[in-house]
Amino acid sequence: MIPDWIDQELWEGFLEIRKKKKAVDSKQAIQLIINKLIGFREQGFDPNEIIKESIMNSWKSVFKPKNQGGNFPTKSQNVDDWVNKGPKDARYEEEQVSFEGFARSDDGSFGESKTSH
């Protein structure tokens, strides 16, 4: 019933949480959750990581991760490019900062190095 790319042990743990939260595991409810996972997978997210997050937070459903990019290649991505370049996070690229001329002070904070003037 569940896709082979979903870890069986994680799935059973997720269903156990749902049972403890008194969620009804009807065929329709389970299929809707699986459909959400399929959609997340197509967006590049790892469904097993999503299930882990739901288990850790005792959620009755699954939710799209808050980060904007997926963590593995989708069908539309070139796997070789993904392996060579890795998943991109544009925010990280924009926020790269040079620390040249900065040093850690005695209190552990960072500031301009006294020798950089």
pLDDT, tens digit (0-9, with 9 covering 90-100), for 36-63: 999 999 999 999 999 999 999 999 999 9
The pTM (predicted TM-score) of the whole model is 0.58
d(CA 97, CA 2) in angstroms, rounded, equals 45
Domain boundaries, the chain: 8-78
Check residue 85 and give its pLDDT: 55
A 10 A CB-CB count for 39 gives 13
The beta-strand segments (E) located in the chain are 102-104, 110-112
The residues that bridge with 110 in the sheet, in sequence order, are 104
pLDDT tens string 74-108: 555 555 555 555 554 443 443 444 445 555 556 65
The DSSP element (H or E) to which 29 belongs, if any, is: helix 27-42
